[in-house]
A and B are shown apart, each in its own frame.
Chain A
Amino acid sequence: MTEKTKQTEQNGSLSKVKKVLSAPRFLDLLPLIGLVIIVAVFAVMTDMEIVTAKSINLILSQVFVLMIASTGVFLVMTIGGLDFSQGSILGISSIVISSLSFYSIPLAMVAGILAGALIGAFNGFFHVKFKIPSFIVTICTMYLFRGLCAYMTTNAPVAAVTNITSLNLTWLKVVFTVGVLVIVYCIFTYTKLGASLKAIGAGETAARFSGVRTNLTKFLVFVAAGAITGFAAFLNVIKVGSITATAGNQLETMILIALVLGGMPISGGAKVRFSNIIIGTLVYCVLNNGLVMLGLDTAIQQLIKGTVFLFVVTLTIDKKSLHIIK
């Protein structure tokens, strides 16, 4: 049988350093180290301004929606799929929430989650029933619902009830975000549903032969991702108060960047860590805000962002687990 193993070099001390650098423990910690370094770098460059309460508050205010939405996509990516429709889901759910906020705010929140779940179900259905790659399905739904969003805001932005922005309290948002993280973490780590997600990502056929209901689970994951983003939409509405056609634009790309910065393997499987979400989102927001604080031109900021992104990813990607890199 031809063996497909890789050869490692053994040349004295260089190999020892390489051994430490490629030890799984170290690789796991790398995103966290990256976060610390980025904060430190900006702290120095902005004369410590970035670690003031005001700045931290500002960073946090951007973190909430991104972190919650990333949690949903994290689940999708764990099973090896991709979801590019998140931005459109945020848009539609935000519109639903705004429209219903006049009747009752709790009702609006629930409706937003349901709207997200429905779009997620739409994604899951086409992916599972017709066996279309999730990449393609979610790009199509992104287009579809983005268009719908634009249509619904053609004449004017959809405004929510005016007192909704009074709910834009940091402590409330922290509670919501932490709540979502904790719930999803518990399900992911301590239930059989969570265990089956990793199995599906690492070997779907074998998971099926082990009794995992793969089709149902995949469908539910997309519904969950939609629902979670539907919840994130609530936090979005209480922040902005009214929804325009561009609500949630590029959210899916931001989520992808954030998760990758957090060290998440792009094909999911057994090596995903929940911390990818948290660290990744924080790194992304710190980077964003740090650059703004430095007073740089937007174009230069973006240039730096792109370069830093490539740099961080090169260091943190676990090359050994990707046998063939696509």
Chain B
Amino acid sequence: MNEIILKAENVCKSFGITKAVCDVSMSFVKGEIHGLIGENGSGKSTFVSMLCGIHSIDSGRFVLNGEELHVRNQVQANDKGVSIIVQEMGTLSGLTVADNIFLGREDKFVRFGIKNTAAMNREAAMLLEKYGFGDINAAAMIDNYNFEDRKLIEIVKATHFGPRIVVVDETTTALSQKGREELYKHMRRIRDEGNTVIFISHNLTEIIEYTDSVSVLRDGKYIDTVKSSEVSEDELKRLMVGREIANKYYRTDYGQPVEGETVLSVRNVSVPGQITDISFELHKGEILGFGGLSECGMHEVGKAIFGASFDRAGTVALANGTKIDSIPCAIKHSIAYASKDRDNESLVLFDSIRDNIVLPSINDLAEKNILKKKKLDKFANEYAKMISVKMTGVDQFVSNLSGGNKQKVVLARWIGKNSDIIVLDSPTRGIDVKVKADIYSLMSELKEKGKSIIMISEEIQELLGMCDRIIIMKNGVISGELARDERLNEEDLIVKMV
């Protein structure tokens, strides 16, 4: 099955002066899972969105099965046999499951303008059964289902009509282990049926394990395609970045465990439906990691510490006994929080870099309640430059920045606030390798300065590489604790997570 099904020929796309995709030519064969990797800004998302009709092509073309592809929206792409499963929410609230599955393609149930809802529901139920999602009710409102189930419904929506090319765009980051297994299962089925999956992911382990071949894009240009079975993660990283990653990616010290004063004490903290009876202590200068499967509750722990949980029981207290019960209280007592939901919780997207960096520190920056613009500008510039945020100026809106730079702005604001306890939730999620390295070295710097960091992450490698201690959670409770050790490996952690 080595026949070529899809060819990209000299495809180009620019947004204003930014060249997102430059003269990319690639081919994909039938019956394979083809990985596509690259740093943020490498053009891979833009490339596939042109294929799927989300963006228009500036020049060049896609040739599917010998025929040039001209599509202007997803439904047209679907009709040609190309579909995409996106990273964010791809289904619409307020509609039923069946409505969502057939959105844009209702016409086969419509006669003389009348929609045969019953027939549509029946067919949807049949499809759900066929996919093994039989306990999802086709006629129910999709709002009754959580994000993960809605993603599964999206899989049905994107693949039920037998597309020849299915793009999976960084979907796995948001799914639990179970959800990911379902996705892999269907990816394999599509391949075994002789069709092609284009799989985009930042998780190189996953890429090597599940793909047959991998293509790399860098700075909008095509670099190379390699066979997954013959390549290592480090080699992939090198192709993505273009040079040897400096050795100091993660921390390289494996010295003494951190003992010292306790800076934060968490006792019997519970949040209904999320976490139960969590107790631990954080020491000065320590990097404490939290790991587990997506739904284990560790993300809620971060919120609980920051005073952002609703209905939290138990106590979160500083060394001097001060209890932390609300966000303003947490910030005032030098606790910082970088959320996993960056665009909603950590950043005011439609506002300037300056306003974002300045906001948590606004109390400190006001002299007798008065704020001076010059002072705010200086403050923002100082910290933005310290972390090398790539921007045109502090007046630039955050929405125009890339993922990595947005995270840098988030970190800049907390460094500007000089917080002593920093809670980082998934700090390197969806961020390219180079900026990841910057963030890790920043964490080490902060540790040297005596700051204490809590790092919540779903990437086991990063926990192993950066933390002094790792607490594993499972089903809302703590299931184990491991100390930093060179000999520690993934299995040791996974065994406590499942």
A13 at the interface (CB under 8 A from B): no
State whether A202 touches B350 (Cβ < 8 A): yes
Contact with A along B381-425 (1 / 0, CB 8 A): 000000000000000010000010000000001000000000000
B273 at the interface (CB under 8 A from A): no
A151 at the interface (CB under 8 A from B): no
Q: Please, how many angstroms separate the alpha-carbon atoms of A181 and B45 in the complex?
A: 49
In the assembled complex, which residues on chain B have CB atoms less than 8 Å from the CB atom of A161? none
For B49, B170, B362, B430, which residue has the most chain A Cβ atoms within 10 angstroms? B362
Q: Please, how many angstroms separate the alpha-carbon atoms of A270 and B396 in the complex?
A: 12
Which residues of chain B (330-353) have a CB below 8 Å from chain A? Answer: 331-332, 337, 339, 344-352
State whether B350 touches A211 (Cβ < 8 A): no
Quick one: given A2-B54, A5-B15, A209-B337, are A269 and B86 in contact (CB under 8 Å)? no
CB within 8 Å of A: which residues of B?
Answer: 15-16, 20, 45-46, 49, 54-56, 86-88, 169-170, 306, 308, 327-328, 331-332, 337, 339, 344-352, 355-356, 358-360, 362-363, 366, 369-372, 397, 403, 413, 430
Q: Please, how many angstroms separate the alpha-carbon atoms of A8 and B16 in the complex?
A: 6
Shortest B354–chain A CB gap in Å is 10
A-B pairs under 8 A by CB, number: 108
A156 at the interface (CB under 8 A from B): no
**Complex interface: stretch among A55-63, A103-111, A192-200, A250-258:** A192-200
Q: Please, how many angstroms separate the alpha-carbon atoms of A203 and B370 in the complex?
A: 23
Quick one: given A190-B371, A192-B366, A195-B359, are A206 and B45 in contact (CB under 8 Å)? no
Q: Please, how many angstroms separate the alpha-carbon atoms of A211 and B345 in the complex?
A: 11
A22 at the interface (CB under 8 A from B): no
Q: Please, how many angstroms separate the alpha-carbon atoms of A6 and B179 in the complex?
A: 33
A52 at the interface (CB under 8 A from B): no
In the assembled complex, which residues on chain B have CB atoms less than 8 Å from the CB atom of A5? 15
A307 at the interface (CB under 8 A from B): no
The size bracket of the interface on A is 20 to 34
Closest 6 CB pairs of A and B: A203-B348, A211-B331, A210-B359, A270-B351, A202-B351, A206-B348
A207 at the interface (CB under 8 A from B): yes
Give me 7 A-to-B residue pairs in the complex whose CB atoms sit less than 8 angstroms apart, sorted by A's number: A2-B169, A3-B49, A3-B55, A8-B16, A196-B362, A199-B348, A203-B344
For B45, B348, B363, which residue has the most chain A Cβ atoms within 10 angstroms? B348
Q: Please, how many angstroms separate the alpha-carbon atoms of A209 and B328 in the complex?
A: 8
In the assembled complex, which residues on chain A have CB atoms less than 8 Å from the CB atom of B430? 1
In the assembled complex, which residues on chain A have CB atoms less than 8 Å from the CB atom of B403? 1
Which residues of chain A (3-25) have a CB below 8 Å from chain B? Answer: 3, 5-8
State whether A195 touches B87 (Cβ < 8 A): no
Shortest A25–chain B CB gap in Å is 12
State whether A211 touches B360 (Cβ < 8 A): yes
A213 at the interface (CB under 8 A from B): yes
In the assembled complex, which residues on chain B have CB atoms less than 8 Å from the CB atom of A8? 15-16
For B169, B332, B359, B403, which residue has the most chain A Cβ atoms within 10 angstroms? B359
Q: Please, how many angstroms separate the alpha-carbon atoms of A205 and B56 in the complex?
A: 33
* Sample of 20 further A-B pairs with CB below 8 A, known A7-B16, A192-B369: A1-B45, A1-B430, A2-B49, A3-B45, A3-B49, A7-B56, A8-B15, A190-B372, A192-B362, A198-B351, A203-B344, A203-B348, A203-B350, A203-B351, A206-B346, A211-B363, A212-B328, A269-B351, A270-B348, A270-B355
In the assembled complex, which residues on chain B have CB atoms less than 8 Å from the CB atom of A203? 344, 347-351
Quick one: given A1-B170, A192-B362, are A199 and B351 in contact (CB under 8 Å)? yes
